[in-house]
Structure 1
Amino acid sequence: MGAIDRWTERSARMLARRSSRRGFLARAGALLIGAGVAPLLPVSRAGAAAKDDGDPTRCDYWRYCAIDGFLCSCCGGSTSTCPPGTVASAITWVGTCRNPNDGKDYIISYNDCCGRSGCGRCTCQRDEGDRPLYRTDTANDINWCAGSGADIVYNCSTAVLMGVATGE
């Protein structure tokens, strides 16, 4: 018998003396369960969102391809939040904008912020993909605050990134 065979036999007998079949099955089961639970653990998905290079206070910012109104990023809010003292309209219009950084198309929800007098800063009117008023879900010339209840005063508009457009 060769040296490798003797070493293998000794190692196998030592392992058999120290362990049992039940112990092996318990460890194998725990490994399988652990592998199945791993995808459920919380993970930071910040890197999965679109890279937002650019100035959100300028009308040529990529998310604003179908916006019409004052930019909330100039009025105390951001591209996705209304300024203090205003609320987002319950109804919105949508557009699809191409991010020049990654070449992908993204679905953007344009939300009017309502409740104070018009901001009056950073007016932006870009009509890419704008549709006639009979397609109100994609028309940007409507005061969407009128559908949000008692307060119909328009302040500014946000451009909330909803996700990647799949082309379906």
Structure 2
Amino acid sequence: MANWDKLTEKMARNIARATSRRSLLAWLGGAVTGAAIIPALPVSRAYAAGGAGGAAAARLPVVSANPQDPGDQTQCDYWRYCAIDGFLCSCCGGTVSTCPPGTEMSPITWIGTCTNPADGRAYIISYNDCCGKSSCGHCLCNRNEGDRPPVRPQANNDYNWCLGTESSIYNCSTAVLIGVAVEPS
């Protein structure tokens, strides 16, 4: 152990003789500056864009076990999302009809009528925003089938519908199945 102590002391003294405080500070400054550019490397941008091995490739499809509810609930072409505008809660920690933890569902909604490809029937869908956290940023969908001008707000998807909650901060949107649409007589 004494030899180890002598070797360590000798190396420390040699480094102290050969360097100054200014050169040490210059080296540390260069290391910090070099480390700051690591997030700007092309590998990071490719991963964020959902390239090979990216976040989009890692997302597993969410499908219902019910054959009457076909489709991937994390994709914009899922049948219930025909009039949705926002981030899908099924990609943000919630489900197609429930909010992610830490958010609350807005009691104020817009509605749409979507056709289920399994049975060909039209269903009334209530689009509820989940509020209380900043936007989740995953699976943005903007489908405007049946969207009406702002003079008919109950059928317009461009509003922030978080007005009836404690926080008006938007997180994501759900698509709650209300019932079968009645055929006009």
TM over 0.5: yes
d(CA) in 1 for partners of 2:79, 2:115: 7
Cα separation, 1, equivalents of 2:175 and 2:130: 11
Query: What is the aligned length?
Result: 119
The structure whose Rg is larger is: 1
Tell me, which stretches of 5 or more residues in structure 2 are unaligned? 1-65
For 2:93 and 2:156, locate their aligned partners in 1 and report how far apart those are by CA, in whole Å.
25
Question: In structure 2, the residue corresponding to 1:63 is in which secondary structure?
Answer: helix
Per the TM alignment, residue 149 of structure 1 is displaced from its structure 2 partner at its CA by 3.6
1:84-109 CA deviation, whole Å, 9 max, x = no partner? 00000110000000001110000000
Task: Check if 1:131 corresponds to 2:170.
Answer: no
The answer on whether the counterparts of 2:132 and 2:166 sit within 8 Å (CA) in structure 1 is no
Residues 13-162 of structure 1: pairs in structure 2 closer than 5 A: 51-145=68-162, 147-162=163-178
What secondary structure does 1:94 align onto?
Answer: strand
> Which ranges of structure 1 fall in alignment gaps of 5 or more residues?
1-48
Q: What is the CA distance between 1:50 and its match in structure 2? A: 8.2
- 1:148 offset after TM fit, Å? 1.4
SS, match of residue 128 in structure 2: strand
What is the CA RMSD across the aligned residues, in angstroms?
Answer: 1.3
Higher RCO, 1 vs 2 (CA within 8 Å, ≥6 residues apart): 1
TM-score, normalised with respect to structure 2: 0.62
